[in-house]
Amino acid sequence: MKKTVLAFSRLTPAMAERLQADFNVIVPNPKQGDITAQFNEALPEAHGLIGAGRKLGRAQLEGAAKLEVVSSVSVGYDNYDVDYFNERGIALTNTPDVLTETTADLGFALIMGCARRTAELDAWTKAGNWQATVGPALFGSDVHGKTLGIVGLGNIGAAIARRGALGFGMQVLYAGNSRKPALEQELGAQFRSLEQLLGESDFVCLMVPLSQATRQLIGTRELKLMKPSAFLINLSRGPVVDEGALIQALSDGTIRGAGLDVYEKEPLGQSPLFALPNALTLPHVGSATAQTREAMANRALDNLRAALLGERPRDLVNPQVWKG
Ligand code: DGY
């Protein structure tokens, strides 16, 4: 008998077709009513779940008696209660590597965008304001030759650091749990405490995963340690920053600006950030290119398929549950 796969976010027809060869596939359809209700109804029969953007833990999965694997179409897995998965023996997989360069590209888009005020100036130009040569009130800040501080020098952080050091002649500083001798050698990156990095950097780029240790890592105290001319870039997870404190710091000139792809609550329907010209706000699109989303989908499909067919999946987040 075929096992059952249940999608918990959109699945392209191509993805669904690939899975149908081996599994019964259920994809909740918004045209047929409430998605969550459809998901909950199908859950007791599901052996595998695939998707992104849904919190899954004890409260959501208690009725999923047959569940063997959750395949997340994301590298971050803070939406999942891994302790509960371990308790239940449910495998969790993610999609590392395939989004590294694309997300780093967006990191640089945020750096460039907020330093050179591209969104603000685009809106200004389109509003018909360009009547004379632009003056100092609309000048931006240099990026090349400046100091780039990366908090969390993992794969994506390193890819941003490479762009900064090799493409823009930036001095790279980094803070985190461990020293990276290879990157120190390759890029001349220098290790700093978080406090030192905040004080020395022109661009502070947050690339840490969300955990108990990184929740609200950046608040009023940390923002005050930054230079008034500096920019905060966040494309890790929103709750790493105290958003209220950031809004205050952007409003009162504690820092020069921020480039944000992630927020405390997503989607961000309304926010005081929208009234701040020095906040560049993107809708969590770090990995959102057609090519990368397809690569992530394929990687997630491979992981799900392997786990349900009894082969060890490539990207197992909790290897301790794997009995194969
Ligand atoms: C990820 O893969 O974790 C990105 O943030 C997209 O959700």
pLDDT tens digit string along 172-208?
A: 999 999 999 999 999 999 999 999 999 999 999 999 9
In the 3-class helix/strand/coil scheme, how is 105-153 assigned residue by residue? HHHHHHHHHHHCCHHHHHHHHHCCCCCCCCCHHHCCCCCCCCEEEEECC
296-319 pLDDT, tens digit per residue, is 999 999 999 999 999 999 999 999
Backbone angles phi, psi at 258, to 5 degrees: -145, 145
| Long-range contacts (CB closer than 8 Å, 24 or more residues apart) made by 84-87 | 84/57, 84/58, 85/318, 85/321, 86/318, 86/320, 86/321
| Residue 12: predicted pLDDT | 85
Q: Which domains does the chain have, with CATH numbers?
A: 4-96+290-321 (3.40.50.720), 100-281 (3.40.50.720)
Residue 287 Cα to ligand 1 middle (Å): 7
Q: Would the CB of 286 count as within 6 Å of ligand 1?
A: yes
Size (the chain), residues: 324
pLDDT band at 13 (very low <50, low <70, confident <90, very high): confident
The fraction of the chain above a pLDDT of 90, given in percent, is: 97
Residue nearest to atom 7 of ligand 1 (CA): 74
Round the average pLDDT of the chain to a whole number and report it: 97
Residue 252 Cα to ligand 1 middle (Å): 31
Catalytic residue status for 162: no
Q: Would the CB of 74 count as within 6 Å of ligand 1?
A: yes
The fraction of the chain above a pLDDT of 70, given in percent, is: 100
Q: Would the CB of 75 count as within 6 Å of ligand 1?
A: yes
Give whole-number Cα distances, 224 to 109, 119, 229, 233, 246, in Å. 25, 26, 12, 15, 10
Residue 113 Cα to ligand 1 middle (Å): 21
Region of residue 284 (phi > 0: left; psi between -120 and 50: alpha; otherwise: beta): left
Catalytic residue status for 237: yes
Q: Hey, is 257 helix, strand or coil?
A: strand
Q: Would the CB of 113 count as within 6 Å of ligand 1?
A: no
Helix, strand and coil percent figures for the chain, each rounded to 5 = 40, 15, 45
| Residue 9: predicted pLDDT | 87
Q: Would the CB of 235 count as within 6 Å of ligand 1?
A: no
Query: pLDDT: is 22 or 324 the higher one?
Result: 22
| Cβ(120)–Cβ(137) below 8 Å | no
Residue 93 Cα to ligand 1 middle (Å): 13
Residue nearest to atom 3 of ligand 1 (CA): 76
Catalytic residue status for 284: yes
Which residue, 205, 240, 244, is CA-closest to 115?
Answer: 205
Between CA 211 and CA 163 the distance in angstroms is 27
| Cβ(77)–Cβ(71) below 8 Å | no
Mean pLDDT in residue range 77-88: 98
| Cβ(33)–Cβ(13) below 8 Å | no
Backbone angles phi, psi at 290, to 5 degrees: -60, -45
pLDDT band at 324 (very low <50, low <70, confident <90, very high): confident
- Among the listed ranges 15-24, 156-165, 307-316, which one has the minimum average pLDDT value? 15-24
Mean pLDDT in residue range 66-94: 98
